[in-house]
Amino acid sequence: MSKYDIIIIGSGLGGLECGTILSKEGYNVCVLEKNELFGGCFQTYRRKGHLLDTGIHYIGSLNEGQMMHQFFRYAGIMDKLKVRKLDENAFDKVYYKNREYDYAMGYESFIDTLCKAFPGERENLRQYTALLAEVGSLISVENLKKGIISTEGMKYFNTSAAGMIARITSNPDLQSVLAGSALLYGGLREHSNFYEHAMINNSYIQGAYRFIDGSMQVADGMINVIRGNGGTVLNSSEVTRIIVENNRVQGVEINGTEQIEGKYVISNVHPKQTLTLVDKNRCIKNAYISRINSLENTYGIFTLYLIMKEKCYPYMNRNLYLHGDNDVWYNKKNSMGRTTNCMISTQASSRNSDYVEVISILTPMYIDELSAWLNTLPEQRGEEYKAFKKEKATQLLDFIKSHGIDLTGHIEAMYTTTPLSYRDFTGTCDGSAYGIIKDYKCPQIGFVSTRTKLENLFLTGQNLNVHGALGVTLTSIITCGELLGHEYLAKKIGHA
Ligand SMILES: Cc1cc2nc3c(=O)[nH]c(=O)nc-3n(C[C@H](O)[C@H](O)[C@H](O)COP(=O)(O)OP(=O)(O)OC[C@H]3O[C@@H](n4cnc5c(N)ncnc54)[C@H](O)[C@@H]3O)c2cc1C
């Protein structure tokens, strides 16, 4: 039986970051991925010779001296990444009530740009960016250098995102514009907390970049580092059981057959899924299992990928957020079966920087909309599922057209994914895009510790704290800090 110091279940960003950190620190690690392709949401797949990204359209805090840059530098991959900085004058464009509003990079530019549309709002916008900066500074390279991973931000988790924006400005149009990219965090007026809103928006205002030729280069880079450090990374290796004896995890079972031994196991899989894998034991109580099972997840995403005709449609170095209703916050009741908002992102390709090859269009979708196919497997969902996806794609293209963007004549081929795709490929509960909701009314309920009651089983990934590249990275550092010491690891990354 193979033996490892650390077994990591899942090769999403969280799993690979933990594998990178721990293999750099001399542990013998083994990362197990159920799919053929590594990377989870950092996976890029090919259709008609083009690369399609599954779950990363842009990444923030990537300027030198900022968190993501520093982490990738520590990991040893930053200088190998192919990235393109988004348009500093308009990295995001929000379409709302027949007008377009740009988000510019840098606090002063952000304020100046929005002041053109809202001239009387300069002081309020200053207050808004100051708050974003305050939340953003809870995680910084300066803190890491001092041995601090993150400073306390609970009061912002306890604050409503929509409520805080409304306290900053009474102008309803500006409120909507500031919440215009809420799709980035599964934004819901009644639930979303200000911490996530601010952390994510701040990271993009600091430095928003797009990967050239797909985000999978991050996964590939970290896999090379892990293997270079003597670690093992295996695909087509689904963990089907976490073996517990004498109240300690002994190892895992792969694909229902082979067993491997590990001193520690880290799960990058949703905590609810993880618990279904763990052998019955006396440490993990039923109350904990019930709590985890009861946690709500964010909505999922329907993605329409457009393969564009050659040299036909210009590449846009920004993302577009389109809104059809007066309320930019997604509302399940109003929006089921309709398209009320979407995000358009053009993928960057090294083959051509003037024209776009692939456009991704994302819109929220709850798995409830797919109830007819809940008990089906991929490729076995039949003609009605195909017709449903085609109808949704047409609806999305019409929605975009109603905002003055007509893509129809430029499309060579279309592909779609639904929350069921994410449920079945990356194993996210309910096909959720961003995992467990941290509702501002009771965020503590949504927080799951990186530690479990089994002392050698740890958790990591987007469900624990904040999702997205930045949030998952923070959690990876916390998870690995449980083994290495938080202060030691923070300093190591901060001074890399
Ligand atoms: C449509 C979409 C768009 C997004 N856009 C952005 C963006 O632009 N910027 C941004 O920062 N964030 C974005 N995000 C969020 C970001 O992609 C995620 O928060 C992050 O990548 C999640 O990483 P993770 O490691 O927690 O999990 P995942 O990426 O879900 O990885 C989990 C891995 O575990 C594997 N696995 C599951 N079960 C098993 C098992 N039993 N055995 C072995 N392996 C298993 C899965 O196959 C998967 O590879 C987006 C997400 C979605 C869905």
Q: How confident is the model at residue 334 (pLDDT cuts 50, 70, 90)?
A: confident
Going by pLDDT thresholds of 50, 70 and 90, the confidence category of residue 2 is confident
- Residues 331, 360 within the same domain: yes
- Is the C-beta atom of 140 inside 6 A of ligand 1? no
Write down the number of H helices and E strands in the chain: 18, 18
Ligand 1 proximity of 301 Cβ (cutoff 6 Å): yes
What's the CA gap between 54 and 428, in Å, rounded? 13
What is the Cα–Cα distance from 472 to 200, expressed in whole angstroms? 12
Residue 107, number of CB atoms within 10 A of its CB: 18
Ligand 1 atom at minimum distance from 422 CA: 53
Q: Does residue 91 sit within a domain?
A: no
Question: pLDDT for 30-77, tens place per residue?
Answer: 999 999 999 999 999 999 999 999 999 999 999 999 999 999 999 999
Half-sphere exposure of 329 (CA within 13 A, CB side): 17
Distance of CA 443 to the CA centre of its chain: 19
Q: Based on the domain organization, do 74 and 221 belong to the same domain? A: yes
Domain boundary among 206, 233, 255: 206
Compute the mean pLDDT over every residue in the chain, rounded to the nearest whole number. Answer: 96
Alpha-carbon Rg of the chain, whole angstroms?
22
Q: How far is the CA of 12 from the centre of ligand 1 (A)?
A: 5
Question: Is residue 390 included in any domain, yes or no?
Answer: yes
Cβ–ligand 1 distance for 52 under 6 Å, the answer no
Domain assignment present for residue 251? The answer is yes
pLDDT (tens digit per residue) in 265-275: 999 999 999 99
Tens-digit pLDDT profile for residues 212-224: 999 999 999 999 9
**Residue 121 above 90 pLDDT?**
yes
Q: Are both 200 and 145 inside the same structural domain? A: yes
pLDDT in tens, 387-433: 999 999 999 999 999 999 999 899 999 999 999 999 999 989 999 99
Q: Determine the average pLDDT of the residues in 478-488.
A: 98
Q: Of 166, 191, 206, which marks where a domain is finished? A: 206
Q: What is the mean pLDDT of residues 110-134?
A: 98
Rounded mean pLDDT, 201-216: 97
Q: Is residue 89 one of the residues assigned to a domain?
A: no
Residues 306 and 231 occupy one common structural domain: no
Residue 462 Cβ < 6 Å to ligand 1: yes
State whether the beta carbon of 40 lies less than 6 angstroms from ligand 1. yes
Instruction: Check whether residue 276 and residue 381 sit in a common domain.
Output: no
**Which whole number is the average pLDDT over 174-178?**
98
Q: Are 323 and 401 found together in one domain?
A: yes
Question: Tokens 């033996």 label which residue?
Answer: 3
Token pair belonging to 323: 């809104």
Averaged pLDDT, 212-238: 98
% of the chain surpassing 90 pLDDT? 96
Kindly state whether residue 70 falls inside one of the protein's structural domains: yes
CATH number of the domain to which 21 belongs: 3.50.50.60
Decide: 11 in ligand 1 pocket, CB within 6 A: yes
- Model confidence over 423-476: pLDDT tens digits? 999 989 999 999 999 999 999 899 999 999 999 999 999 999 999 999 999 999
Question: How do residues 345-392 score in pLDDT, each as one tens digit?
Answer: 999 999 999 999 999 999 999 999 999 999 999 888 999 999 999 999
Instruction: Mark whether 310 and 420 lie in a shared domain.
Output: yes
Query: For the whole model, what pTM was predicted?
Result: 0.97
Report whether pLDDT(1) > 80: no
44 within ligand 1 shell (Cβ under 6 A): no
- Other Cβ atoms within 10 Å of 313 Cβ, number: 19
Q: What is the pLDDT of residue 360?
A: 98
Cα(426) to ligand 1 centroid in Å equals 7
Shared-domain flag, residues 288 and 335: no
Mean pLDDT of the region 114-135: 98
Residue with tokens 């803190």: 143
Q: Are residues 408 and 456 in the same domain?
A: no
Within a domain: 398: yes
Is residue 333 domain-resident?
A: yes
Of 131, 144, 127, 28, whose CA–CA distance to 478 is shortest?
Answer: 144
What is the arithmetic mean of pLDDT over 168-191?
Answer: 97
In what helix (H) or strand (E) does residue 224 lie, and over which residues does it extend?
helix 216-228
The three-state secondary structure class of 260 is strand
The answer to whether position 340 is within a domain reads yes
Looking at the structure, do residues 446 and 486 belong to the same domain, yes or no? yes
Give the rounded percent of residues in the chain with a pLDDT score beyond 70.
100
* The predicted structure's pLDDT at residue 272: 96
Residue after which a domain boundary falls, among 433, 453, 480: 433
Question: Which residue bears the tokens 């002392």?
Answer: 455
Q: Which domain holds residue 53?
A: 3-82+213-295+442-494
CA of 467 to the centre of ligand 1 (A): 9
The answer on 403 and 468 residing in a single domain is no
Domain count, the chain: 3
Residues 147 and 186 in one domain: yes
Residue 131 has pLDDT above 90, yes or no: yes
